[in-house]
Structure 1
Amino acid sequence: MTTLSVSSLSVRYGSVVAVSDASIACPAGSVTALVGPNGAGKSSLFLGTIGAIKAVGGVIELDGEDVSALDANARTRRGLVLVPQGRQVFSHLTVRENLCVVADSMRLPQDRVEEALDRFPILRSRQNLPGGVLSGGEQQMLALARAIMGRPKVLLLDEPLLGLAPQVIEAVLQTLHELAGAGMAVVVAEPSIRLIRSQITRGYVVLRGRVVGTAGSGDELAEEYSRRMGM
């Protein structure tokens, strides 16, 4: 079943077209990749999909329901969640407080906080430290832990592996694999598929704000990306 369907989405910043007539389908239980160089429009496609910026055209469907008219908060409540670049943790709150803020805002039971800490044991060992003193990898784990506390249907991740150490990348990829295996639709935007190639179920090539190629595996996506880039 296609959990997230984006059809003919367009996004502009003033007179600048960031995304033009883009369509993607992201099934439950899959890892879908959006691959393209920096500035290709991947982040804008995500922001338009979650409603953080207003699209000038297109239809967003979640489990077959048209959510295009809903604002970002309403789409989040429906199960569409983004982990943006930059992690955006609350630097002055402890790790546990970062998780509790999300749990309180979403009216989640306290055991969701414990589940999040159990998923990333390093976070449990750091639970009383301010988010701002965590390493980049630990902050990424915290951002991911916060995002999945509400058990979303679709998880969008914008360059989640940027600047991470190899062992942290392995832990993040393992988590994404587990989430997809549990039925979540996971969508990852990266400028290169080298690190996520083995995890990809399907993917799209994004260039100059357009979806210009599709593929049914990591290997196929690598070939399509190379072809489109003229490599």
Structure 2
Amino acid sequence: MTGLPRPSLTYRMEDGLRLGALLWRFGPGWRMISSAMLGGGVGRREWVLNAQVAAGYSRMDPVEHMDALGPGGPGVGMMTAAVVERYAAAEDGGAEAVATVGLGVPTWAAAPEGVPDPGLPAAPESARETAPESGAESARETVGAGDAGVLETGGRAPRPGTINILVAVPVAFSDPALVNAVMTVTEAKTQALLEAGFPCTGTASDAVCVAVREDGPAEAFGGPRSVWGARIARAVHRAVLDGARDWRTRREHSPLL
């Protein structure tokens, strides 16, 4: 298997809520770079978990929590307050991307110190009508509804991310190219959010994971104008754009999102 496996979706009861989790079982032969607390950094990984947690998540043991939800062995565990069933997926030239998008508390990365992140204002009508389309192929699962959002807890406990992105490519990358690919993912995410009419660069606790093969010649570049970086950018852009539009549509029907 050299591409993104189909995820399994499971549910659990936690804090009185029915919460979902997506699990991708890659198996051996993969190397990943991730910002996730569980399995973050660079190394061999065999699975990726994207688990929904309650809004205002305040547990002080997120690594142990995610590890307990995973299948065991080396893997990556991300958490989010977004409804994971409503993930958006896209593919471009062999680069595959999946995004779970929740925008309850959007942020500008370079916000003034001490100023709390505001609630999301309504997207302007002009932005809704003029956001450009992408040529990447895409498909989205639309099971379930709603979004828990993310609230600032004011404590030192980590907050769950609301835009989690998983990317897989069927080739090997050098370490510098992997770092560059994370930059490309982030740039494409921000482009998609702005084009969808959301005034933000993301949320304060987004997470990313890029999976590449261990075998074969290693790609030296992962920037948006490299062969694979460009494909990653287009796939991520489409997935986040679709996910952001879906979140906005649901928010219009449920003001509590």
Would you say same fold, with TM above 0.5? no
TM-score, normalised by the number of residues in structure 1: 0.28
